[in-house]
Amino acid sequence: MRWYEMIKRVLVSLGLAVGLLGSVSAAAFEIKDGDLRTIFYARSDVPVIWRYTPAKDVYVLDMPGLERLGRTFNRATQLVEQQYTEAYPRVLTSEELARYISNANRTFANFASGHDLRVSDLVQFFNLADRDKVELFPEEYALRDFLLGQGVMKEWRGFYNAQLPHAVILSIPQVQDRRSGEPAVSNHSRYAILLHELSHAEYHTNEAYKKYARMFWENGLTDAQREAFKKFLAAMRYSVENEDLVINEMQAYLMFTPDAGAFSAARLGVSETVLASMRESFLRGRPPVKLPLRAKAGELP
């Protein structure tokens, strides 16, 4: 292991041990098993990592506090979902990330309310951060240590290697009232975020469903409807040149986001009739997925 790697890891370990900047160490994560209902109704004031029982190798990090959630995942999400066309993708420094989020008129707390990343994505993230000597947040190191501790990622000669590259790490926020610098998260918002993120896990781990979603994108939508989705996603800084990402987000927003504040006909730029028609068309082919396909805004599981 390179000397600077060894020194950095010692410093990080010491920082985590004393709770630097309010971080949480991997050992502080409570690890539990649960399905959609169990996860949704659970309440905790400490981070919980759920092993999602209906699907193998899917983990859900249930985090109290949107700021803490953002410090854990925003930087990796920016790399994976918003740098697709960059010739040399790289991990942003903390100063660059803060500036990037500010330029998007966002904060760490509302840059994204949920996340989905594969272990292969996170391996790339941590390797690039080490390569460029980017100092990460303690929350990001805690996530790294969890992945190492679970054996889904290993370190060998100074590089991280994915042991379960297609395993999926999701994140959702706990219910909370509005607080300084952070928006409120209602029961209905939590459900919509959880359902949305679980649909990403289905797309990543269920090959039959992924194939179905791709066929729907290619044959079930018109050119204008596909362009509407690309425009909708581009406004949120998704790399719409990445077709796989676009299809994944299309199915999640179209069928699994029962929150009009996050997704609606108006936000997509189509009529209510057109949106309803797209949803019925998606259902008509009987998509091979066990998540609730007809969840409506205001409903709970």
**Residue type (1 letter), 175:** V
Residues 92, 236 within the same domain: no
Within a domain: 231: yes
For the segment 254-272, the average pLDDT, to the nearest whole number, is: 97
Residues 277-299 have a mean pLDDT of 93
Domain encompassing residue 42: 3-185
DSSP code, position 20: G
pLDDT for 238: 94
Instruction: Please check whether residues 128 and 232 belong to one and the same domain.
Output: no
48: which 2 tokens? Answer: 């919980």
In the structure, what pLDDT confidence band is assigned to residue 64 with cuts at 50, 70 and 90?
very high
Q: Are residues 236 and 161 in the same domain?
A: no
Read off φ and ψ for residue 80, nearest 5 degrees.
Answer: -75, -40
pLDDT in tens, 172-210: 999 999 998 899 999 999 999 999 999 999 999 999 999
d(CA 92, CA 274): 39
pLDDT score of 233: 97
Residue 4 has pLDDT above 70, yes or no: no
Alpha helices by DSSP H, listed for 206-271, are: 207-215, 223-234, 243-256, 265-268
Give per-residue burial for 27-60: e unless 16+ CB within 10 Å, then b. eebeebebebeebbeeeeeebbbbebeebebbbb
At residue 7, the pLDDT reads 42
Asked if 102 and 134 sit in the same domain, the reply is: yes
Same domain, 249 and 172: no
Average pLDDT, the chain: 91
Would you state the pLDDT for residue 299? 86
End of a domain among 152, 185, 218?
A: 185
Residue 155 pairs with which residues in a beta bridge? 160
Average the pLDDT over each of 82-91, 245-254, 263-272 and give the range with the smallest value: 82-91
pTM for this prediction: 0.89
Residue 21 has pLDDT above 70, yes or no: no
Q: Note the pLDDT tens digit of each residue in 126-149.
A: 999 999 999 999 999 999 999 999
| DSSP conformation class of 221 | S
Confidence of residue 28 (pLDDT cuts 50, 70, 90): low
Domain endpoint, select from 185, 215, 230: 185
Q: Is the pLDDT of residue 10 over 50?
A: no
- The total number of structural domains that make up the chain: 2
- Residue 27 domain flag: yes
Could you tell me if 111 and 163 lie in one domain? yes
Q: What is the DSSP string of 152-207?
A: SEEEETTEEEESSTT-EEEEEEPPB--BTTB--B-HHHHHHHHHHHHHHHHHHH-H
Closest CA to 161 of 110, 207, 123: 123
51/150 Cα distance (integer angstroms): 11
Q: Is 60 exceeded by the pLDDT of residue 49? A: yes
18/155 same-domain check: yes
Examine the pLDDT at 20 and tell me if it is beyond 60: no
Q: Which of 6-10, 134-138, 288-292 has the lowest mean pLDDT?
A: 6-10
Provide the pLDDT confidence category of residue 87 given band limits of 50, 70 and 90.
confident
The per-residue pLDDT for range 208-243, each reduced to its tens digit, is 999 999 999 999 999 999 999 999 999 999 999 999
| Residues 11 and 114 both lie in one domain | yes
Task: Give me the mean pLDDT over the 45-55 stretch.
Answer: 96
Question: Is 128 a domain residue?
Answer: yes
268 in a structural domain:
yes
